[in-house]
Structure formats: C-alpha cells, structure tokens
Amino acid sequence: MSANAAFRVGLIQMVSTPTVAENLESAAELVAQAAAQGAKLVALPEYFCILGLRDTDKVAAKEKDGAGLIQEFLAATARRHGIWLVGGSVPLECADPGKVRNSCLIYDSEGRRVARYDKIHLFGLELGAERFDEGRTIEAGTAPCAVDSPFGRIAVSVCYDVRFPELYRALAPMDIILVPSAFTATTGRAHWETLLRSRAIENLAWVLAPAQGGTHANGRQTHGHSMVVDPWGKVVAERATGAGVVVADIDPEFQAKMRRSLPALTHRVLQGPWG
C-alpha cells in the first residue's frame, strides 16, 4: 500500500457485558461487518472484552501478556480478515495481583502483535452520585506509544488520556491518533467531541475514537458517539448510541495539504515531559 493512498477505517461501537465470551462473539460480528465494508484498519473500544458488574471483574478476567483467549481472538480475527486490528483495551496481569494493566494491543494483518500501550492516565471522578477511581484496580502505564504502519504513524492512547495533550505532543508528528474509550454519559456529553476535535486540530492528525455506547449490566451509561475526526477538526463519521460500525475513508493527501497550509507542528517551541 502506498504511503499516500487513501484507505478505509472501521470503528466498532459496543455495549459490552460482564461475559467475555459474549463480548468476543459480538466483536467478531462487528469486525466482520467493518471488514466487509472495506476497512483495513479496525479499532475496538476500551473494555470491549469485559465491562463487569464490579471493577474487580476485569481483574478476575486478566490474562498473561502474550497468552489468553482475548489475545488469541484478536490475533486470529486480524489474520482472518487481513486487517490491522486494535484491541481497545485488554486486562493484562501486573506485579500487583489486585490490579491489571489496561492495555491497548494492536495486531497486523497477519495476526502479529505490533504494539502494546498501557493506559497512563487513570480516570477519577466524584460528581454527584457518580464515583470512579480506576487506580483501585488498574496499575498505570509509564511509556507513551506510537507504531509505524502501512497507514502512517499511529499514536496510541486510551480514553482518559485524551485530556492530556502533552502525551500526544511527546509523540508528534503522527498521522493517526487512536482513542478507544468508555466515556461516561455525563463527561461525554460535556467534553467528548471537544476533546477529540482539539487533539485533531493541534496535531493536524486524524483521530479515531471507538467507544462504548449504551446502558450496561451494572447500570453504567456510556456516551457512545464513536467518531472519526479529520486533521482540520471536522467530524466526518459518527455513531450516536448502540452497537454498530462506523466507517470512513482516510486521505493522507488531505492531511499533507492541511500541514502545508498551516505548518503549526514546525512552529513548536516547548516540549512535553517525555521529550
């Protein structure tokens, strides 16, 4: 594939349940739909494989790095469809037996894992009756991650990371930013689109944000609105709620044109904490 050739991406929106096997079956069907529509890069949302009744459910479902049903599913699905597949997040074991790493895994079209990113910024919220503290069950990652691909350089992040622009500045320039997410309905209504469009604009990059979108078994409501945002900050494809697929065509030449018109990345002065 030529570096300047247009290609199609697919974002998978889910309403994941506490049952891993059930979620993998749903994911398989949705990925197949995206591939059938010509998507060559397909991304699943955060917690695609399990959104439990309790925060500790994902700890019980954790896998060893490189082995386990969820990782085998991702590798086999990528290989079956000949696509690059982003496993929005997978609970992987860490040194603390009571916690996991919330890991975004990327597989190439032959089913080989080419990237692992462990979510760095852990969500915490106290707003009315809503209480979230990911640090109770998740061990934070420490290293930013970008991977070179047939689609350009891809910067990897997960959900709450999108609020921290310095993470992306440390990886710039990139062609694509991944933000698999499970935004709450409350914070999503207020901030989701604004944050995604901001990251696209300031990095002149495509943003791909597959999301959880609906009411889950534990009563949690996720915002949905999986979307593709172009380097000028325009939302070019979106799904409001419910499980389904979002597809969009990515034109690298459009990005190059925008960067020639507004060379903001060459005007950077200050650097982020990672370099």
Is 253 annotated in the active site? Answer: no
Check: CB of residue 205 under 8 Å from CB of residue 199.
yes
Residue of 63, 99, 119, 145 with catalytic role: 119
Q: Is 74 helix (H, G, I), strand (E, B) or coil?
A: helix
Catalytic residue among 46, 63, 134, 139: 46
* Residue 234 neighbours by CB distance under 10 Å: 11
Rounded CA gap, 60 and 79, in Å? Answer: 28
Residue 46 annotated in active site: yes
119 is catalytic: yes
Q: Out of 49, 94, 145, 159, pick the active-site residue.
A: 159
Q: Give the residue from 188, 189, 167 showing the smallest Cα distance to 178.
A: 167
Distance in angstroms (rounded) separating the CA atoms of residues 226 and 182:
10
Distance CA 12, CA 246 (A): 7
Active site (catalytic) residues: 46, 119, 159
